Amino acid sequence: MKKKIANICIVIAGTIMNAIGVGVFILPNNYIVGGATGFGRFISYYTGLPTSYSVGIVTVALFFVGLAALGKAYASTIVIGTFLYPVALDVISKIDIFSQITDDTFLTCCFAALILGVGTGMVMRVGGSVGGSDVLAMVFNRKKGISIAVVLNSVDMVALLLQCPFTSINEILYGALIIVLNTVVVNKVIMMGSNDAQFIVISKAVSEVNTAIQEKAGAGTTLLLGRTGYYGREQDVIICTIRKRDIRKVKDIILSIDPVAFITMMPASEVSGEGFTFARKASV
């Protein structure tokens, strides 16, 4: 229950960050934008409706499409983003201090991409969705077998093209820059982890090294049975995942026992299990 509540809070925070990125940096500067917001801008331009209202129409319509096509289980994952995003966007758009927070176009692009990327990445890290064009992607994927990426890119391209007639070349280019930077930030946030490290150790003194890592570094190890490539001899291989702060300590332990041990170290993110995300059981 605590985890579910925490995930809901993260989805809410990420959705509000998306609204801030759009309402503070994108809409006031007339940059093109993809997804439901892009279609909302198109509707707003030709109908005179506030952008937040037209975005709300689009997201709610897509929500009911997802509910009808994919069922309640899927709809429950996008309900927060569907209804919270246009409301938050409307509130932010009405705060005068946010209407022109800076005149520097490069700064607006960078902060728009940063805030949108962090917000979207937060939502995606906990398995949530901000709704919008994601719904169409899921519908076409499940019903027609079309790749989610293909549908998302196609929908975004249509949204971007629809905004071009009432957007200047500079605004189009800045909007494209935001989209590219946003993608980079989203990927970074999704992949962001604890930055632990994983050691793979091959040593003639494998038993001594294994015991020393456990006793002196307090780290768990796993032994895999391997075979040397040249001589074809059986060889135990140590795999050990440790905290970043213990990297130097573990390496020194290994080399103090076997100075010619073969050691490979690589970053390990999103590590979970006994000894990391919860305490190691003494009996194991």
**Domains in the chain, start-ordered, CATH in brackets?**
2-191 (no CATH), 196-268 (3.30.70.120)
Long-range CB contact pairs, 210-219, < 8 A, 24+: 210/236, 210/238, 212/253, 212/254, 212/256, 212/257, 213/238, 213/240, 213/250, 213/253, 213/254, 216/249, 216/253, 217/242, 217/246, 217/249, 217/250, 217/253, 219/246, 219/250, 219/275
pLDDT of residue 195: 65
131, 63 Cβ separation under 8 angstroms: yes
pLDDT of residue 283: 45
Residue 265, Ramachandran bin (φ over 0: left; ψ between -120 and 50: alpha; else beta): beta
pLDDT of residue 277: 55
List the strands of the sheet with 234-242, edge to edge. Answer: 222-227, 234-242, 196-202, 262-268
pLDDT of residue 23: 92
Q: Is the pTM of the predicted complex or chain greater than 0.75?
A: no
Dihedral, 156, 158, 161, 165 alpha carbons, nearest 10: -120
| pLDDT tens for each residue of the chain, 284 residues long | 788 888 889 989 999 999 999 999 999 899 999 889 999 999 999 999 999 999 999 999 999 988 898 888 778 878 888 899 999 999 998 888 877 778 888 899 999 999 999 998 888 877 777 777 888 888 888 888 888 778 888 888 999 999 999 999 999 999 999 988 988 898 888 777 656 788 999 999 999 999 999 998 888 899 999 988 888 889 999 999 888 778 888 999 999 999 999 999 887 766 666 655 555 554 44
Distance (Å, whole) CA 234 – CA 228? 6
Give the length of the chain: 284
pLDDT of residue 125: 79
pLDDT of residue 284: 42
In the chain, the amino acid numbered 35 is G
Q: How much is the CA Rg of the chain, to the nearest whole Å?
A: 25
